[in-house]
Amino acid sequence: EAGVAQSPRYKIIEKRQSVAFWCNPISGHATLYWYQQILGQGPKLLIQFQNNGVVDDSQLPKDRFSAERLKGVDSTLKIQPAKLEDSAVYLCASSWTLTANTEAFFGQGTRLTVV
């Protein structure tokens, strides 16, 4: 089966600019996650969707970050305006359900550099 697809792989922007990342989860996966992985740290959850509804966005900096999952399939994560500290790898993951023992499948991530 096809894996989680993310684009772009790399992005360089200047601070205060906006950027958007796209994720296409594995077909049939109801749960979708966006993680932020800063260099030298483990991934940190930004937002979690179940179908097209938000399950958890408590760690999403809502003044500059937004995410949507229209029709419960693809998702986009946007940053506007970007700050230097947003430089990180943004990982998208999906799983069949919210059940805790369900494996999450990850994409290859987007490496964002803010200069």
Partner 1 sequence: AQTVTQSQPEMSVQEAETVTLSCTYDTSESDYYLFWYKQPPSRQMILVIRQEAYKQQNATENRFSVNFQKAAKSFSLKISDSQLGDAAMYFCAYRSADTGNQFYFGTGTSLTVIP
SS (H, E, C) 54-104: EEECCCCCCCCEEEECHHHCCEEEEECCCCHHHCEEEEEEEECCCCCCCCC
In the complex with partner 1, the residue whose CB is nearer, 18 or 59, is 59
Residue carrying the six token digits 């490496």: 111
| Contacting residue, 32, 86, 88, 107, with partner 1 by CB under 8 A | 107
- Whichever of 26 and 81 has its CB closer to partner 1, that residue is 26
Asked whether position 93 contacts partner 1 by CB under 8 A, the answer is yes
Regarding 33 and contact with partner 1 (CB under 8 A), the answer is yes
- Of 28, 5, 34, nearest to 97 by C-alpha is 28
Contact between 40 and partner 1 per CB under 8 A: yes
Q: One-letter amino acid identity for 22?
A: W
Chain residues that interact with partner 1, rule: CB under 8 A: 3, 33, 40-45, 48, 50, 55-56, 89, 91, 93, 98-101, 103-104, 106-109, 111
